[in-house]
């Protein structure tokens, strides 16, 4: 399916999208593999330093994703960078408010702290992605 | 800030993507500048002027605020 000339992406759009995919794939693969093995094998992280390192292994994937995101930001043109940073700021704001909600819930001994922390992180990321998508639709 | 990008682009029969290719920016960036959502940096504004072969001051015109009183 080909795009109409009015909707065609610019050459730099295509180049940036390809480079972004290249930058994010290693982090995603490492994160899926490390998190997957952790969930599947469920190591006892208190028994040894080795197990603790294994439990922290998803941080390698997260670090690679952050590195990829920094490269994406550096490659973006000025308006895209502004939109990315505004979306990140919005995501961080949502994350901070979610964290305050979790604090209140934990203060009242309600819910599972681990699940609430993971949900807080996910909510921040979703808010970031939604803000980017809203910007994309407004400027398309 | 008012700009003449859309008008000059139409004269040359360029799509937004064509202009974006020449400026090395995304198509959304061209759209945002044309619709006034984004004001380009000075370096991008000079690049736009070079692409159209027009002086900078003929491309961008200050939009004077109307008095509220």
Give me chain A's average pLDDT, please: 88
Residues of B with CB under 8 A from a CB of A: 15-17, 20-21, 24-33, 37-38, 40-41, 44
Selection from B52, B18, B17 nearest residue A140 by Cα = B17
Tens digit of pLDDT for each residue in B22-61?
999 999 999 999 998 999 999 999 999 999 999 998 898 8
Set of chain B residues whose Cβ sits within 8 Å of the Cβ of A78: 25, 29, 40-41, 44
Would you kindly state where each structural domain of chain A is located, as residue ranges?
Answer: 1-75, 78-140
How many cross-chain Cβ pairs, A to B, lie less than 8 Å apart? 61
Give how far Cα A112 sits from Cα of A44, A103, A116, A118, B43, Å: 19, 12, 6, 10, 52
Does the predicted TM-score (pTM) go above 0.90? no
Residue A13 has pLDDT above 90, yes or no: no
User: pLDDT band for position A2 (50/70/90)?
Assistant: low
Lowest-pLDDT choice from A29-33, A63-67, B43-47, B65-69 = B65-69
d(CA B11, CA B30): 16
Q: Phi-psi bin for A14: left (phi > 0), alpha (psi -120 to 50), beta?
A: alpha
The pLDDT assigned to A3 comes to 59
pLDDT of residue A118: 86
Q: Show residues of chain A in contact with B32, CB under 8 Å.
A: 79, 139
Q: B63 pLDDT exceeds 90?
A: no
Residue range A106-137, pLDDT digits in tens: 899 888 888 888 899 899 999 999 999 998 88
Lowest mean pLDDT among A5-14, A86-95, B53-62: A5-14
pLDDT digits (tens, 9 = 90+) for A19-49: 999 999 999 999 999 988 888 887 665 667 7
What mean pLDDT do residues A100-111 have? 90
Residue-range domains of chain B with CATH: 2-59 (1.10.260.40)
């Amino acid at each position: 399916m080909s795009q109409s000339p009015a909707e065609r992406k610019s050459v730099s759009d295509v180049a940036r999208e390809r480079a972004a995919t290249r930058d994010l794939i290693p982090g995603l693969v490492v994160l899926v593999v490390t998190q997957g093995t952790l969930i599947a094998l469920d190591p006892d992280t208190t028994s040894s330093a080795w197990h603790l390192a294994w439990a922290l292994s998803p941080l390698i994937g997260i670090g690679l994703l952050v590195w990829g995101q920094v490269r994406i930001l550096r490659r973006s043109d000025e308006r895209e960078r502004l939109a990315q940073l505004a979306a990140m700021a919005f995501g961080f704001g949502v994350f901070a408010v979610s964290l305050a909600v979790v604090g209140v819930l934990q203060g009242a001994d309600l819910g599972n702290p681990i699940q609430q922390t993971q949900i807080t992180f996910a909510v921040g990321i979703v808010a970031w992605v939604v803000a980017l998508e809203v910007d994309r639709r407004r400027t398309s | 800030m008012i700009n003449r990008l859309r008008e000059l682009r139409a004269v040359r029969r360029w799509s937004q993507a064509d202009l974006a290719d020449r400026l090395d920016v995304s198509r959304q960036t061209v759209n945002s500048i044309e619709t006034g959502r984004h004001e380009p940096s000075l370096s991008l504004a000079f690049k736009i002027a070079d692409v159209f072969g027009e002086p900078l001051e003929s491309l961008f015109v200050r939009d004077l605020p109307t008095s509220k009183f």
